[in-house]
Chains A and B, each alone.
Chain A
Amino acid sequence: MSILKHMLAAAVGAAALAGLSASASAQTIGFSQVGSESDWRTAFSADMKAEAEKRGIKLQFSDAQQKEENQLKAVRSFIAQKVDAIIIAPVVVTGWDQVLKEAQAAKIPVFIADRAVESDPSLFVTRIAADFNLEGRLAGAWLAQASKGNCNIVELQGTVGSAPAIERKKGFEAVISLFPNMKIVKSQSGNFTTSGGKEVMESFIKATDGLKDVCAVWAHNDNMMLGAIQAMKEAGLKPGKDVLTVSVDGVPDIFKAMLAGESDASVELKSDIGKYIYDVVQGYLKGKHDYPKWVLIPSDLHTPADAAEMLKKKGG
């Protein structure tokens, strides 16, 4: 029996890691985050936590580790906990109807942050997000101007099937299709990660004989671009000089790369968006119910000209 006792003790000890019971008085909001796959994502998570604290919100934060099934479980746990509102930053666009119906049945309002969902719009209050398509258009417009409309482009796509990957690609293509001498010559997914970007870039470098006739690298996020920059440097190329780079996110490291002359432009996807999101959530909980189905978070493009300033702002 002693083994049983040990097991019991271990179980209680393990569960004790989960901490003590929490009070239920303050406004409680459950937030299911995609994961911590990029610097932007972790900055976004940190801002959500900091902003919640500032506003006296009790935030139930759950990292889905980039898995839809974890996210569905987290949302169901939030419903069971009877939180006041649920914010979902979805991993994928599909598969949400059932759990959203359950939240609606429990009379808990759901807000979608960042990526979109393919679901009956009556099942959630609104989506609070930047426009991925606009980000792609901004990147394309910058590149069209920087290359004077003549450019062979290699593209590092985000996670296959994810909304930012689909929309940034569409927006970018919409702009470059206006220029007959601009085209994407290679395109592959780097899964939004630095290592993925590096790996794909290495294969691009091999396939194009050292980026011969390639004028620009376009990455759906900065992390992949940072990997690509590393791959280009290792292949003896000069990113930012031999090849133009444009990506999306505006993480501190991309501004550092700009200051080192290795990166040319990044569309900032603001990570300090907790204020935009909580404004809507708290407004709704106070009784304002006439939000549009998409509350837009603005985005800007940055270049080496304001990289130092941006880096300081991001605390890099």
Chain B
Amino acid sequence: MGEEDMNERYMPLAATIVVFLAIYAFGAAAYNNFLSTLVFGDLLTDNAFVIIAAIGATFVILSGGIDLSVGSMIGFVSVAMAALDAQGWHPLLSALLLVSFGAVFGGAMGALIDACDIQPFILTLAAMFLLRGLCFVITLDSLPINHPFVAAFSDWRIPLPGDGRLSASALLMLAALAAGIVLAHFTRFGANVYAIGGDRNSARLMGAPIRRTMIQVYGLGGFYGALAGVAYAFYTGSGYPLAAVGVELDAIAAVVLGGTLLTGGVGYVAGTLFGGLIQGTIQTLITFDGRLTSWWTKIVIGALLFFFITAQRSIMRSTALMRHPA
């Protein structure tokens, strides 16, 4: 692997970081009080649950799949946390139960996808409807989580210089990110995910355990989805059956903006953090402006996504041409 090749591999990640810094620098230059540790701390806190979900989605996408059930998983977990709270459960206990449920649920999806050769899109779409429906079976209302632990969790923070703070949610997200990076880049499991996403048939021929890895990948996706749900429940101190509708798409957008190829096999977990932060920063910028409708967030993210996908495509083309000149 030549130096040129390495540069190509890091290109999307570098581009993501540059875009993030550029958007952030623009905000700092254009708006009063934007360049503060408060805004940065809030950015990490407010986007923690989306980024956690997106870390799980990164593995699924790296394996060449997709998971549409993430948003519903977040909604379901938040509602289940609130319902268990009403039964007197400690939030940590219900979090443990629900995160295990997420992993098992995801693992079952992975097993079905591989065993029955079902399109991940369709199977996870079914799971999305199933979990969202379950939210409404549990409750039709938004339910508070009254356990003092939840209030203590959201009150706890490490003060940053200036008036900012690093919240417990932000730390949870950073820990989840660190775990994701280790899993993806320093384990046999991670290598298998890249191999399967790159070329499933060669991976099979080289003896990568396809079934087991698929179960692990979707199990991990479910685990991170449920963990995002726990973060969401702690973040809002409540469960709401309509919570996080469409967050699976925000998560996928974060992964793609983070430089991971939707076709699988190429990408970095760290990129997903920046992909999520780009979305959050654009939203913050538009709120700071205060005159544009917040729907511009979607327009700008749409434009950026479009740009990233076409740019990735052209990088892939040029790399392929360099390797196999016509």
Interface residues of A (CB under 8 A from B): 3-4, 6-8, 10-12, 14-22, 24, 30, 58-65, 67-70, 72-74, 76-82, 92-95, 97-98, 101, 106, 118, 159-161, 166, 189
Contact = CB atoms under 8 A, between A and B. Distances in A.
Given A8-B22, A14-B282, A160-B242, A62 B290 contact: yes
B42 A76 contact: yes
Contact of A14 (B237, B290, B303): B303
B31 interface: yes
A97 B145 CA distance: 11
Contacts of A106: 163
Nearest to A166: B141
B287 A17 contact: no
B144 A8 contact: no
Interface in B1-56: 11, 14-15, 18-19, 22-23, 26-27, 29-34, 36, 38-39, 42, 45-46, 49
24 contacts: A4-B14, A7-B19, A7-B307, A7-B311, A11-B22, A12-B22, A14-B23, A14-B303, A15-B26, A17-B299, A18-B286, A22-B32, A22-B289, A63-B294, A65-B294, A73-B46, A79-B38, A93-B142, A98-B155, A101-B155, A159-B242, A160-B140, A160-B241, A161-B142
A135 to B, nearest CB: 19
B26 A12 contact: yes
A161 B46 CA distance: 23
Contact of A19 (B136, B154, B291): B291
Contacts of B238: 92, 94-95
Interface majority SS (helix, strand, loop, mixed), chain B: helix
A222 to B, nearest CB: 22
B175 interface: no
A15 B31 contact: no
A68 B15 contact: no
A69 B243 CA distance: 8
A18 B240 contact: no
A95 B292 contact: no
Contacts of B286: 18, 62
B38, B241, B243, B280: most-surrounded residue (chain A CB, <10 A): B38
B245 interface: yes
A298 B16 CA distance: 52
A10 B46 CA distance: 25
B288 A10 contact: no
Given A21-B31, A69-B244, A161-B141, A4 B15 contact: yes
A65 B242 CA distance: 13
Nearest to A79: B38
B245 A67 contact: yes
Given A3-B311, A7-B15, A118-B144, A161 B284 contact: no
Contacts of A95: 142, 144, 235-238, 240
Given A72-B46, A159-B242, A15 B27 contact: yes
Contacts of A18: 26, 30, 285-286, 288-289, 292, 296
A19 B244 CA distance: 29
Given A18-B26, A92-B240, 12 more contacts: A4-B14, A7-B15, A10-B303, A18-B30, A62-B290, A69-B235, A72-B235, A76-B42, A78-B287, A94-B238, A95-B237, A160-B242
